[in-house]
Amino acid sequence: MNDLTPLNVRNAAAQHDASLARRGCPVSDLKDRLRKSGLRPTRQRISLGWLLFAKGDRHITAESLFEEAMRARVPVSLATVYNTLHQFTEVGLLRQLAVDGSKSYFDTNVTDHHHFFVEEDDQLMDMPMEVAVGELPAAPAGMEIARVDVIVRLRRLPG
C-alpha cells in the first residue's frame, strides 16, 4: 500500500483544507468511510464504492452496477454486488428505493429528497427542489415516522 507518499507530499498545502486533501485521494477517503462504518475496506468494496460515488448522484440497480463493474474490468461477483449494496445501505452510504414492484434501486444521494420516475424508460431522477409534504397525519399510537417517500410518476406527453 504505497498511496501514503502522495498524501504526505501534499500535506503542507492541504493543511488548511482537509476536504481538498481528501478529494485528492478519494480511495483513501473511501477506505476511511468504510472503516468508520465498521466495514473492512476490501478490494471489491473499494472498487464498487469508487464506481458508485465518483460521479455524483446516481440511481443504480444491482444488475446495472454489476454490468458497470464488468465493463470497468473490476472482477466482482453479482452476489457480492448485492451484499455490498445492502451493507452500504445499512451504514447509510446508500438509500434503497422501491419504485416498481420488481427490482430495487439504490440512490447515492442520502439527503432528504424525493423522486421523479418515468415508467416508460425506468428512469429515476432526483427532484430538483425540496417538496414540502404538508401536514402529515400523526403516526398511529406506538409508532413513529421513519421516512417519507414521495414518487412522482411521469408520463411522456404525446406529440
Q: Catalog residues that contact a copy of itself under the rule CB under 8 A.
A: 96, 98-105, 116, 118-119, 125, 127-129, 131-137, 139-140, 142-157
- Pick the closer one to DNA by CB: 120 or 144: 120
Cell readout for 86 is: 445492502
- Can you say how many angstroms the Cα of residue 48 is from the centroid of all Cα atoms in its chain? 10
- Is residue 104 a contact point for DNA (CB under 7 A)? yes
Half-sphere exposure of 112 (CA within 13 A, CB side): 7
Q: Give the x/- contact pattern for DNA in 6-45, rule: CB under 7 A.
A: -----------------------------x--xxxxxxxx
Cell of 111: 439527503
- Of 25, 27, 50, 80, the residue at the interface with DNA (CB under 7 A) is 80
Cβ density class 28-67: b for 16+ within 10 Å, e for less: bbbbebbeeeebebeebbbbbbbbbbeeeebbbbbeebbe
One of 28, 61, 89, 109 touching DNA (CB under 7 A):
61
Q: Which does 56 bind (CB under 5 to 8 A by kind): DNA, a copy of itself, none?
A: none
